[in-house]
């Protein structure tokens, strides 16, 4: 290939979306990548990036051209061995994807959500009472982690012992989507005990018979998937179902702590809880990025990409693209937020979104009934991960109604 000709026809950037600097404050880099063009060559990695809403959306929806089966991280499964056996849903294309997806869709359906709701309300009320009593606490460990940890593993039907492996395991999964940098290497280096525990918990014998995990094994009895596939599909729940909601909760609390007028609105109308969560997902995008791989030559704008090229989709940038959103950098719980790509879009769009929204709605509603003000009492500190954006400390003080 003629390097000079390529440089003329296609915007190129030296930005590293997985550098410490980028992960600390991605917004100026998002701006530069959006302005560079519909698709940008990332020099450092020899891959492509899409940062505008329209192009991220198109990439999500054209699954025939932009496939998942070669991995949704930077590593191309056609060239490198995956760090763990590929997911039966995330890392597959139709038709295999559909079979696994149908099962997850069923075990995470509105009917199942209805059976979980009352228990979640009780857990949320108890946690909100406890926090109001304490007044000052860390909104990450004491709330964003504590609440999902108090409901999700029980809903799946997991045993008590060993649950401390869940967040480190998920942290590894999300770091592993990134490039071969220090975050990824260190996570994989330390993963073995977490992988071993999680793998064990996916077995039918380790799941309560009435939980979501067991329902996946029941689907194998019904012939919808094989008995060999069931544990790997349970693994998807454990990979994707906790760290995501933890960072979603963290995002929501960080938002209402920085935008007190929005908390006031929520307090006066707890019915806005779902909107407050959804807007926090748009605003912070707990899942910042994902990749696809081209299955054929394709043009994006004026740029022609070959087959077998990795494309980074910057969801967080799409969710604040001024071409799509009015006042993109404002957190507004009454915004018409539908169309955001914080849960992805298209055939792979988050299959657990009803569960995430249920947890958030129920908890934010209970908090809104009790809490007058939420203020930060110190500097929040960031948690660094190749895929997830969130904090590891958010000291707050709340005042009761």
Helices 96-107 and 229-240, interaxial angle, to 10°?
60
Which of these segments, 8-16, 213-221, 237-245, 250-258, binds ligand QZP (CB under 6 A)?
Answer: 237-245
Which range in 53-61, 85-93, 108-116, 222-230 contacts ligand QZP by CB under 6 A? 85-93
Q: Which stretch binds ligand QZP (CB under 6 A): 53-61, 233-241, 245-253, 370-378?
A: 233-241
Q: What ranges in 259-346 are assigned the alpha helix state H?
A: 260-268, 273-284, 315-318
Residue 168, token pair as written in the block: 């480190």
Query: Radius of gyration of the chain from Cα atoms?
Result: 21
Question: Quick one: tokens of 325?
Answer: 């959103």
Check binding of 345 to ligand QZP (CB under 6 A).
no
DSSP annotation string for 336-375: --TT--BTB-GGGS-TTHHHHHHHHHHHHHHHHHHEEEEE
Stretch 156-175 residues interacting with ligand QZP (CB under 6 A): 173
Count of beta carbons in the 10 Å neighbourhood of residue 1: 6
Smallest CA-to-CA distance from 251 within 274, 276, 227, 270 is with 276
DSSP state of 291: E
Q: How many residues bind ligand QZP (CB under 6 A)?
A: 10
327-332 CB contacts, 8 Å cutoff, 24+ apart? 329/27, 331/255, 331/258, 331/259, 331/262, 331/279, 331/280, 331/283, 332/262, 332/279
Burial class (CB in 10 A: 0-12, 13-18, 19+), 134: exposed
Nearest distance from C-beta of residue 96 to ligand QZP, angstroms: 13
**Among 42, 139, 240, 281, which residue interacts with ligand QZP (rule: CB under 6 A)?**
240
The phi, psi pair for 344, rounded to 5°, reads 75, -165
Coil, strand or helix at 140: helix
Helices marked H in 180-299: 182-189, 192-201, 212-221, 229-240, 243-258, 260-268, 273-284
At what angle are helices 146-156 and 229-240 packed, to 10 degrees?
Answer: 170
CB atoms within 10 A of CB 110: 8
**Among 87, 201, 295, 385, contact with ligand QZP (rule: CB under 6 A):** 87
Quick note: the x/- pattern for ligand QZP over 281-310, rule CB under 6 A, is: ------x-----------------------
For residues 22 and 83, which CB has a smaller minimum distance to ligand QZP in the complex? 83
Residue placing its CB nearer to ligand QZP in the complex, 244 or 319: 244
Q: Is residue 201 a contact residue for ligand QZP (CB under 6 A)?
A: no
Which span sits near ligand QZP by CB under 6 A: 83-91, 188-196, 250-258, 333-341? 83-91
Q: What is the DSSP letter of 48?
A: E
Nearest distance from residue 86's CB to ligand QZP, in Å?
8
Give me the least distance between CB of 225 and ligand QZP, in Å please.
13
Query: SS3 for 194?
Result: helix
Decide: is 236 part of the binding site for ligand QZP (CB under 6 A).
Answer: yes
Among 90, 140, 234, 396, binds ligand QZP (CB under 6 A): 90
CA angle centred on 336, ends 334 and 340, rounded to 5°: 120
When binding is defined by CB under 6 A, the residue of 244, 247, 293, 294 that contacts ligand QZP is 244
Q: How far apart are CB 37 and ligand QZP at their closest, in Å?
A: 26
Write down the least CB distance from residue 301 to ligand QZP, Å.
26
364 is an interface residue for ligand QZP by CB under 6 A: no
Rule CB under 6 A: is residue 386 a binding residue for ligand QZP?
no
Q: Closer to ligand QZP at the Cβ: 65 or 244? A: 244
Least separation in angstroms between CB 129 and ligand QZP:
31
Among residues 51, 56, 89, 341, the one that binds ligand QZP under rule CB under 6 A: 89
Q: Which stretch binds ligand QZP (CB under 6 A): 15-23, 86-94, 107-115, 140-148?
A: 86-94
Q: How far is the CB of 188 from ligand QZP (least distance, A)?
A: 15
Minimal distance in Å, beta carbon 103 to ligand QZP? 12
Q: Under the rule (CB under 6 A), what is the footprint of ligand QZP?
A: 87, 89-90, 173, 235-236, 239-240, 244, 287
């Amino acid at each position: 290939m003629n390097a000079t000709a390529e440089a003329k026809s296609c915007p190129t950037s030296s930005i590293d979306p997985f550098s410490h600097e980028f992960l600390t404050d991605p917004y100026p880099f998002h701006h530069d990548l959006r302005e560079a063009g519909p698709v940008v060559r990332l020099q450092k990695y020899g891959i492509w990036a899409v940062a505008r809403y329209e192009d991220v959306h198109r990439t999500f929806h054209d699954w025939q051209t932009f496939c998942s089966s070669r991995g949704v991280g930077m590593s191309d499964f056609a060239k490198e061995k995956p760090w763990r056996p590929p997911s039966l849903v995330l890392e597959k294309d139709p038709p295999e994807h559909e079979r696994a997806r149908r099962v997850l869709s069923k075990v995470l359906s509105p009917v199942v959500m209805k059976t979980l709701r009352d228990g979640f309300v009780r857990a949320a009320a108890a946690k909100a009472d406890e926090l109001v009593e304490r007044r000052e606490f860390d909104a990450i460990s004491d709330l964003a982690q504590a609440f999902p940890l108090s409901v999700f593993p029980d809903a799946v039907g997991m045993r008590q012992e060993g649950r401390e492996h869940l967040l480190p395991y998920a942290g590894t999964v999300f770091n592993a989507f990134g490039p071969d940098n220090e975050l990824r290497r260190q996570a994989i280096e330390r993963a073995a005990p977490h992988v071993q525990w999680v793998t064990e918990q996916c077995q039918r014998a380790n799941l309560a018979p009435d939980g979501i995990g067991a329902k996946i094994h029941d689907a194998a009895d019904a012939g919808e998937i094989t008995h060999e596939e069931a544990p790997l599909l349970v693994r998807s729940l454990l990979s994707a179902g906790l760290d995501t909601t933890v960072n979603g909760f963290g995002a929501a609390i960080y938002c209402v702590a920085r935008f007190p007028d929005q908390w006031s609105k929520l307090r006066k109308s707890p019915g806005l809880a779902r909107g407050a969560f959804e807007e926090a997902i748009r605003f912070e995008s707990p899942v910042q990025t994902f990749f696809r791989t081209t299955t054929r030559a394709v043009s994006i704008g004026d740029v022609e990409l070959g087959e077998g090229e990795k494309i980074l989709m910057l969801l967080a940038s799409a969710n604040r693209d001024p071409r799509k959103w009015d006042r993109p950098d404002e957190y507004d719980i009454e915004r018409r937020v539908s169309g955001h790509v914080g849960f992805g879009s298209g055939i792979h769009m988050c299959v657990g979104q009803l569960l995430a929204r249920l947890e958030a709605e129920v908890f934010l509603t209970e908090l809104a009934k009790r809490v007058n003000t939420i203020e930060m009492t110190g500097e929040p500190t960031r948690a660094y991960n190749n895929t997830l954006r969130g904090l590891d400390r958010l000291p707050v003080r709340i005042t009761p109604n």
